Amino acid sequence: MSRQMNGGWLRVVGVGPGPARWLTPEVAEILAEATDLVGYAPYLARCPERDGQIRHGSDNRVELDRANHALDLAEAGRRVAVVSGGDPGVFAMAAAVMEALAARPVERRGLDLTVHPGVSAMQAAAARLGAPLGGDFCAINLSDNLKPWDVVEKRLAAAAEAEFAIALYNPASKARPTRIFDAFEVLRRVKAPETVVVFARAVGRPDEKVTIATLATADLALVDMATCVLIGNSDTRLIERGEGREPWVWSPRSVEG
């Protein structure tokens, strides 16, 4: 029986930043139909339980192993959902699955495989704040597990020079506690001290905390792996909403010539 016709399939899905209400109907349907869920254990815990479904949880630093395991299960006829937090295409499992697939012989690449979007952490944070990513923006992963730190520094400096608003992913961890400090050192060499900075931690979850500061005043000790850091451009501004209410953050779409 061909690999395309054995009944198995692989779906790479994103479950959003946390709350069930941000799980898309499409992804919910896939999770309900899957015989197997593969992913980082805390992300699998966000998925609804279903009788008979097998969960293959693993650590957060074995993405390629996880992807190969999922491909093997699908080849064997299982209906497999690879689960990412946020969106699977933003520093997540879609890239790992494609890397694993590309390493296989072409005759093993005919699986029924599709990727399905989810709400990303930067989208959730931006929506909470107003429109901090309303103009041109980029996303940069501060983890140097898969690339040298000097590459991260070059990209940070280039993005800052080019006046992008910037979303920083994976800003700090137990293994990399100083990288957010290193990143801000790069940004402070390029951007003005009054540049708007936002720490959006666990948006949508019970322990959500959003802090608005500037590049000069930002308390980097607030940052952990649950934090999405947003850095404005020189046009990003605050819209005050009156006493007792946090301001909106807005990056205009228009740029003066």
Tell me how many degrees the CA angle 220-173-20 measures, rounded to the nearest 5: 95
What pLDDT shows up at residue 1? 37
What pLDDT shows up at residue 226? 92
What mean pLDDT do residues 40-53 have?
A: 92
- CA distance linking residue 168 with residue 133, whole number of Å: 12
Nearest to 172 by CA among 152, 142, 212: 142
**Residue 2, pLDDT above cutoff 50:** no
pLDDT digits (tens, 9 = 90+) for 151-196: 999 999 999 999 999 999 999 887 788 999 999 999 999 999 999 9
CATH of domain 9-119: 3.40.1010.10
CATH architecture of 122-250: 2-Layer Sandwich (3.30)
User: At 10, is the pLDDT very low, low, confident or very high (cuts 50, 70, 90)?
Assistant: very high
- CA distance linking residue 67 with residue 98, whole number of Å: 8
Under 8 Å between Cβ of 233 and 167: no
Domain boundaries, the chain: 9-119, 122-250
User: Fold match between 9-119 and 122-250?
Assistant: no
What pLDDT shows up at residue 219? 95
Under 8 Å between Cβ of 100 and 108: no
pLDDT digits (tens, 9 = 90+) for 190-231: 999 999 999 999 999 999 999 999 999 999 999 998 999 999
| Cα dihedral 88/137/207/118 (nearest 10) | -20
What pLDDT shows up at residue 68? 97
pLDDT digits (tens, 9 = 90+) for 50-63: 999 999 998 878 99
What pLDDT shows up at residue 191? 97
Under 8 Å between Cβ of 111 and 161: no
- CA distance linking residue 138 with residue 69, whole number of Å: 32
pLDDT digits (tens, 9 = 90+) for 68-120: 999 999 999 999 999 999 999 999 999 999 999 999 999 999 999 999 999 99
User: At 3, is the pLDDT very low, low, confident or very high (cuts 50, 70, 90)?
Assistant: very low
Whole-number mean pLDDT of the chain? 93
